[in-house]
């Protein structure tokens, strides 16, 4: 397949490009700047573009068999009103521009990122893909993000919405942001530690994306998270073991909100999401448990 990746210079996008090239797919990556590790491969091409703006990059969609839409500003930093607009626009405008550029009558597959933030904080509820949306900022972003992607079905495309949990991988991504936070608070659960944490190993993410691309019957929303979510206190304990640091000193919720502002609620919210549809379609996880995932990443 010829697969176009928006957000192709980011952590997930560049890893996905490498994963697909190793499986003999052709990759066109689009991003604001080239990946740090440029791929010297005959089946790889990179286009530098701001995908929140219309432009010549949209012509590339006409020849793609599939699109993996990953573009979006990181949520792992303090949110000002200006930055919240950047979070929103980077996702919604890119997705709108992608779908607008698809030819009418297309049979393209669009795998478009979203987040488990779609559900809001849900306590101990087990959250499958048919659950309602939440009402906070990230839920609102996710609802609008998905709405833009699903417009592609009206043009004949197959749309799969990927509601990502927190992606854990080597040399970047969410773990690179979580570890300093963990160390900043000495090490231990955040808040009362009872909140559920949806996560996914990077290797399983790559495999799940290709799985959905290759299975024509797969469409609609999918929870891209491991089958065994963990409570924050269990994550802290596992991370402490891998980092050889104490993990018993909790950080009070008020302190997290004081330091991080509204973004702190990302760590304090609870989402016990499960990948019901991936499992029902027959996908098998290489890293279903948090300790095995963190040990693999720590050894890398």
Structural domains of the chain ordered from first start: 2-168+198-227+273-286 (3.40.50.720)
Please choose, from the candidates 71, 72, 63, 55, the residue with its C-alpha nearest in 3D space to the C-alpha of residue 27: 63
pLDDT at position 189 is 62
pTM, rounded to two decimals: 0.91
What is the per-residue pLDDT across 107-166, written as a single tens digit (0 to 9) for each? 999 999 999 999 999 999 999 999 999 999 999 999 999 999 999 999 999 999 999 998
pLDDT at position 188 is 62
Strand-pair category, 196-197 with 230-231:
antiparallel
Copy the structure tokens of residue 257: 């909100």
pLDDT at position 300 is 45
- Residues in the chain with pLDDT < 70? 35-38, 173-191, 242-264, 299-300
Instruction: Find all residues with CB under 8 Å of 186, minimum gap 6, and list them.
Output: 246, 249, 251
Contact 29, 17 (CB under 8 A): yes
pLDDT at position 257 is 63
- The distance from CA 16 to its chain's CA centroid, rounded to whole angstroms, is 12
């Amino acid at each position: 397949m010829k697969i176009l990746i928006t957000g192709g210079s980011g952590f997930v996008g560049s890893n996905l490009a490498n994963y697909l090239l190793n499986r003999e797919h052709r990759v066109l990556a689009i991003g604001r700047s080239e990946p740090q590790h440029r791929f010297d491969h005959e089946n790889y091409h990179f286009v530098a573009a701001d995908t929140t703006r219309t432009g010549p990059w949209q012509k590339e969609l006409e020849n793609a068999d599939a699109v993996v839409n990953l573009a979006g500003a990181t949520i792992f930093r303090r949110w000002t009103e200006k930055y919240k607009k950047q979070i929103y626009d980077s996702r919604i405008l890119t997705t709108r521009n992608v779908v607008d550029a698809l030819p009418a009558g297309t049979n393209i597959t669009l795998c478009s990122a979203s987040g488990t933030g779609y559900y809001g904080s849900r306590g101990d509820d087990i959250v499958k893909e048919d659950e309602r949306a939440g009402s906070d900022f990230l839920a609102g972003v996710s609802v609008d993000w998905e709405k833009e992607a699903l417009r592609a079905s009206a043009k004949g495309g197959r749309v799969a919405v990927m509601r990502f949990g927190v992606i854990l991988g080597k040399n970047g991504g969410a773990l690179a942001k979580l570890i300093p936070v963990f160390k900043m608070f000495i090490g231990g659960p955040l808040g009362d530690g009872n909140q559920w944490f949806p996560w996914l190993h990077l290797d399983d993410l790559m495999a799940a994306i290709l799985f959905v691309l290759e299975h024509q019957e797969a469409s609609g929303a999918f929870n891209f998270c491991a089958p065994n979510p963990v409570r924050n206190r269990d994550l802290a304990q596992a991370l402490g073991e891998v980092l050889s640091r104490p993990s018993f000193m909790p950080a009070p919720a008020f302190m997290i909100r004081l330091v991080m502002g509204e973004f702190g609620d990302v760590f304090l919210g609870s989402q016990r999401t499960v990948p019901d549809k991936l499992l029902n379609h027959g996908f098998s996880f290489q890293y279903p448990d948090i300790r095995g995932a963190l040990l693999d990443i720590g050894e890398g």
